[in-house]
Structure 1
């Protein structure tokens, strides 16, 4: 007997004064800590220069986030977008039946229905989703949405995506989602808006954590994801230079895929086929053709690992992919693109912060209680600054108190990133040759 399908989820942004109050308080704390640091550190010390460079980048991101508004197509452009053939690509592998069914049902609740949905079961070893398939086919037929459902030998996510796309080669736009992702009812309508600009080649949606209330780890992931998207990605979007679209919700012009399909399927590292970092490579192809942007009002809900082991393996996969992708960005992005230079600046900043940490640790300065307090205040307050936009979010499954609890864990996210995730990144760089997926040997998350 099948388990109940999760209830539909929705989200909206409603800017208010609470976020500004939090940003003001956190800003004061950062300013205080900066004063303490400048007073304690000699002017030419690498710690100071690395810190001030980071503060400058943070200010740019926060200003960009403050003026960010969702893209809106003109009525004429919106009518043209409504006629475009949108095909949703859904690769599935060892997915929980109830989660997959919730994902597929959300596609049929859209205010802008897709022309077709193409599902590829990539040789799952935990079942064949027969009940899910039959029910979805019946519902899609009633909604007037075409469906292709294939089961293939396991070849990885990229092969599954391309197999799904080949079922509808005449599509104008391909929308990618993950099989554990449920879309807000207006997600497709919203994510298409920026494509009214012919220069825009891909659009990223905003990803929220479906199971954020499970434990502290999932709450940390929720506030981290939203902070990254509402602040960092919003800043890149204003420059048309989003570097990575999130797999749970992104849309691409069809030519982005078809002009690069052989390269996409054939990428290797040290002679081994690459099965990870698919989102970043598709985004890079889009960057080479034009602008890549983020639509903050297009929401998707995706399940995240609930254990440290699952979180660790997911982060290692992402970090290895990010390190590997840096090589192709530097090789393929033209010097005239903002994305090339911001990518370079970020690696320079990362190297400077790492070197500064090494200097501080070697000197024993962090052993002083005052230094520890200053560092904790800086990291915690800075993370609260970038988490403040979360207060503008309204989830259908979240009360005001629950929203405040999520924001309250933001300082922990900063400390987690500075310590645990930094060590994981060093390990990921050292083991970048491991290009396997590393997860989903079994069903890892259930509804």
Structure 2
């Protein structure tokens, strides 16, 4: 594909230098549908990025779009803070009956604000309020958001430095396989908890991603997650699972922790919970933890009614049976095979292939290669990003509704980009 550089002057002169994704994809996007995005010059791109996991059901999903248009055309409530609305009632009823109850969860639903970091901030605040302690344990290479509380439990040094002030009351522990299996799981963590001379303030909670997306597609196995849940229970710590990027079916089941058979005390959801790309976030917690005073945590946009409408439509369309889950797992196996074939072809270049469901990563020994591959993929018409502490992992995050033909096309483009770069 030959791409003529677009006129980006207004973005470069008016918009802040903080912009990032547009630097790797230097074009002006105009339309999007399903697994494709189209720029102003008529070029088409296959999207293996999906809004960083916000578009699990694809761009402008027709079923969700119809529900949204109907709601807007009848003058349904758009902004409602935390007022009771028909759209919120429909969402709560559908989410409870279709998602929570079949999984044996009776968690209360809180709308903390429209972004993932809002959900994490609420989770941390509630855990501290319930336990009366300040410390939170997180894990190496974790990412939980860009506001101060979320940054305090995030591992990436570059993102942490942006805070400009000390980030306190967060303690990192080794994530699954961080020490290459040389030591028993949680040996160091448990020793610190049991030793009154360790200097570790007893934590209120532990926050974890089952798959670390921004951290490099690091996958925690089910045994490790069960052991973590048991550790939290034995030491009176709440377990928070951050399912903002990996929830809503990304790894197969609606929640990414279902495979491990655990029931976290607190769960955070955002990104694809709105279904259509509209901002929405939830903090879920066991009923006994609901000790909030009215208005103690709030936000102007916590009641995004158009997002309630598309979220309800997404659940009703895709989660009344197991079809999407089975399809995601099957296509995940297909992606794994394709990536392993690429790795076999380039044994000296590829360090590892790892993932679950439809989130996969390919790590490179020569770390800058990953960004070069993503750049070449863009030139060939494929949108992929990188992740990991040094952006050394090519990250695949296609929509769950992508067709098998589109998936194959993207994997062929990726194989070519790797071949031409490596």
Common topology (TM > 0.5): no
Compute the TM-score of the two structures, normalised by the length of structure 1.
0.27
Compute the TM-score of the two structures, normalised by the length of structure 2.
0.29
Structure with more helix by fraction: 1
